[in-house]
Structure 1
Amino acid sequence: MCSKSTGAAIVALCTSMVGAFVALAVSAQQAETPANPHAEILSIGSAVTEIVAALGQEHRLKARDTTSTHPPSVQDLPDVGYMRALSPEGVLSVGPSLIIAGEGAGPPEALDVIRAADVAFVEVPDALTTDGILHKIDIVGDALGVPEQADALAAKVNAEMQAAMEDARRPDADKKRVLFVLSTQGGRINASGTGTAADAIIRMAGGVNAISDFEGYKQVTDEAIGTAAPDVILMMDRTGDHAADDDALFAMPAIRLTPAAQDRAVVRMDGLLLLGFGPRTATGIRQLNAALYGTDS
């Protein structure tokens, strides 16, 4: 520890050490978020890709992951696979000079190999709030060397988010109870509790999450759904094993006695718009609010 009693020589040494530490910290921070206005980008994660495009930098994308499908033009790019099941060979084969990945990309052992390669790597944290979305934009803008464009986009997105949430406000007594169903595979309902993107956007859009006694997504019992008594079922608009048409959905024992089943009230939305928490989230809020309450989106 440095103190005045150690003398001028020790103070000078301590000052030098502190200066060196600060320099190293700054250097490490810059290494984590390299500002390179000419980097060729591999974008991993739908929100990250949307931010890159919204910043006017889509022309620099060399490749993307499977979840990145908006704007539609990015689907012409090479696809390195699903963001949570990446292979180092596939990622590095497209030859990016900068990889920007959303939180949750993996698996971890694949990221270890990718991070060890001679490619700049920036991770963008998940977000469930307006501030979190703005932070994503700042990180991507800094990594791409376009901070002014990022500031402008953040200001636009912030204004849109505030307006959308203000327009979606409703008295507590009028709020609909919404059950987000992730899948009905095998006849079992996987639903959202608290602390999820689904929970966050339901609340932003003026609804109430019908399930609040657990965090994350998990399979729920028929009794739990009966207790939740949702007014509306919310699902992603998709096909395949995780999808269920209206007849199959409302015939499920867990759902058929709920208020939602009595009214056949189900809302299906684009999953990226609903859960992506990127530049288009204000649009998702307005669309969900309109679907729940019949207002203009």
Structure 2
Amino acid sequence: MSTPAVYMPTRRRTLQALALAGGAWAGIAHAQPGARRVVALGGSITEVVYALGAQAQLVATDTTSLFPEAAQRTPKVGYLRQLAAEGLLALRPDAVVGTSDAGPPVVLEHLRSAGVRVELVHADHTWDEVRRKIETVGAVLGRPEAARALWQQADAEWAAVRRQVAQARHRPRVLFILSHTGTPQVAGTGTAAHALIGFAGGVPALSGFEGYRPMTAEALARAAPDVVLCTTQGIDALGGAARLWQRPELALTPAYAQRALVALDANHLLGFGPRLPGAVREVHQRLQTLAATAQTASGGLGTHA
């Protein structure tokens, strides 16, 4: 008796099965053998490595890789935007995987010229970015099946939180303030913060420019945010939440009246990794609570279109 065809799938059947199981995951069929020595650039990339249980293949990370806690004890190659080829090559990596923010480009080209596999995931602050990160890391590490399972779990969580957000009663105006160093800046379009606010059911208070700009009283008066969103690291850099509210730029905003503040860890909030559904859920729940409280007090918050 001949062996049933189901046990000897053709390449077409294999790709079709992968496509049905995970859409773009068909590309995993072309994954190269797993690299034994990998450098991860970017906190979300490092999170995926640990989520896949592949930390034994990790020889170093960048300074933004702080989760899980074990990642803080890995050798560091510096900030992902300010890499040095010599330090990276000294680690003898088989592969370097990061986001498109990594650089400078000349360093990455130096690595490629030295025979190091360099894989960069385009960061566009979408849910598909998370899929690409999981898929790419899984391919580099030679763990496509584990990556597919991680994606399926994350995607199910994402679908659940999106349903929760869709049922929200309030849509407060939210302003993200970046205050890790120097003059506080506010987020416009094209930023992870802008995308996160929308995912969480808020209305971005500023959208007339791209990237970040210094925080000014004029800009905040126009924005009229109901809630301020920050990272916990940013709040610490300012000296605490009380110091934030002492800034005169915030004094005339609706958020100031209620001291409406939401703060999460920077990697969790803006990393766009496997924990993104949890970050969106947490921000969404806090926004709804603040909006409901303020509406009770003033009768006006949380009704923005």
Which bin holds the TM-score, normalised by the shorter protein? 0.7 to 0.9
CA distance in 2, matches of 1:78, 1:191: 32
Cα 1:85–1:34 change in 2 (3 A) is: farther
Once the two structures are TM-superposed, the CA of residue 254 in structure 1 deviates from its matched residue by: 1.2
Larger Rg: 1
Q: Using the alignment, how far apart are the partners of 2:71 and 2:180 within structure 1? A: 30
- Give the corresponding residue for 2:83: 86
SS of equivalent residue, structure 1 residue 153: helix
Structure 2: where are the runs of 5+ without partners?
1-26, 291-305
Please state how far the C-alpha of 1:193 moved relative to its aligned partner: 0.8
Percent of aligned positions that are identical: 40
**1:261 aligned partner:** 256
Q: CA deviation at 1:184?
A: 7.7
Q: 1:275 to 1:239 in 2, by over 3 A?
A: closer
**Aligned positions of 1:38-57 closer than 5 A:** 38-57=35-54
Name the counterpart of 1:4.
none
Counterparts of 1:232 and 1:280 in 2: how far apart (Å)?
23
Structure 2 residue matching 1:268: 3-state secondary structure: strand
Q: Which residue in the other structure is 1:181 paired with?
A: 177
Q: Structure 1 pair 168/223, CA: closer, same or farther in 2 (3 Å)?
A: same
2:115 and 2:283 mapped to 1: Cα distance?
A: 43
With normalisation by structure 2, the TM-score equals: 0.80
- Deviation track 1:159-204 (CA, whole Å, cap 9, x = no partner) reads 1111112112255x72111100012855x44111112110111111
By how many angstroms is 1:87 displaced? 0.7
| Aligned counterpart, 1:6 | none
Q: Which amino acid aligns with 1:264?
A: R
Cα distance between partner residues in 1 of 2:236 and 2:279: 24
What count of residue pairs does the alignment treat as equivalent?
262
| Unaligned ranges ≥5, structure 1 | 1-29
Residue equivalent to 1:140 = 137
Provide the residue aligned with 1:128 in structure 2. 125
CA distance in 2, matches of 1:288, 1:244: 22
Q: Deviations over 1:210-239 (max 9, x none)?
A: 111111112243111111110111111116
Contact 1:127 1:277 in 2 (8 A): no
Shift of 1:127: 3.8
> Residues 268 and 279 of structure 2 are in contact (CA less than 8 Å); yes or no, is this contact kept in structure 1?
yes
Q: Does 1:166 align with 2:163?
A: yes
Alignment partners' CA distance in 2, 1:41 and 1:198 = 29
Shift of 1:37: 2.4
> How far apart in 1 are the matches of 2:167 and 2:215?
28
Q: Superposition RMSD on alpha carbons, in Å?
A: 2.2
Q: Sort the Cα spacing of 1:243 and 1:111 in 2 relative to 1 into closer, same or farther, 3 A.
A: farther
1:204/1:125 CA distance change after superposition, 3 Å: same
1:185 to 1:82, Cα distance in 2 relative to 1, 3 A: closer
Is the alpha carbon distance of 1:127 and 1:53 closer, same or farther for their aligned partners in structure 2, counting shifts above 3 Å?
farther
**Alignment correspondent of 1:18:** none
CA distance in 2 between counterparts of 1:40 and 1:214 reads: 41
Which of 215, 218, 228 does residue 210 from structure 2 map onto? 215
For residue 66 of structure 2, what is the aligned residue in structure 1? 69
**Partner of 1:237 in structure 2?**
232
**In 1, Cα distance between the equivalents of 2:202 and 2:188?**
14
Match of 1:59, as an amino acid?
A
Is 1:104 the equivalent of 2:88? no
The answer to whether the 8 A contact 1:182-1:242 is kept is no
Aligned to 1:292: 287
Aligned pair in 2 of structure 1 residues 240, 211: CA closer, same or farther (>3 Å)?
Answer: closer
Contact residue 170 and residue 206 of structure 1 kept, 8 A: no
CA contact (8 A) 2:35 2:140 kept: no
Partners of 2:71 and 2:181 in 1: CA distance = 30
- Cα offsets for 1:93-134 (capped at 9, x unmatched): 112111112111111222222221121111122141222211
TM-score, with normalisation over the residues of structure 1?
0.82
CA distance in structure 1 between the partners assigned to 2:180 and 2:145 by the alignment: 45
User: Deviation of residue 276 (structure 1)?
Assistant: 0.4
Closer/same/farther in 2, CA of residues 207 and 108 from structure 1, 3 Å limit: same
User: Which SS does the other structure have where 1:70 is aligned?
Assistant: coil
State how far apart, in whole Å, the 2-side matches of 1:135 and 1:251 are. Answer: 41
Moved more, 34-43 or 249-258: 34-43
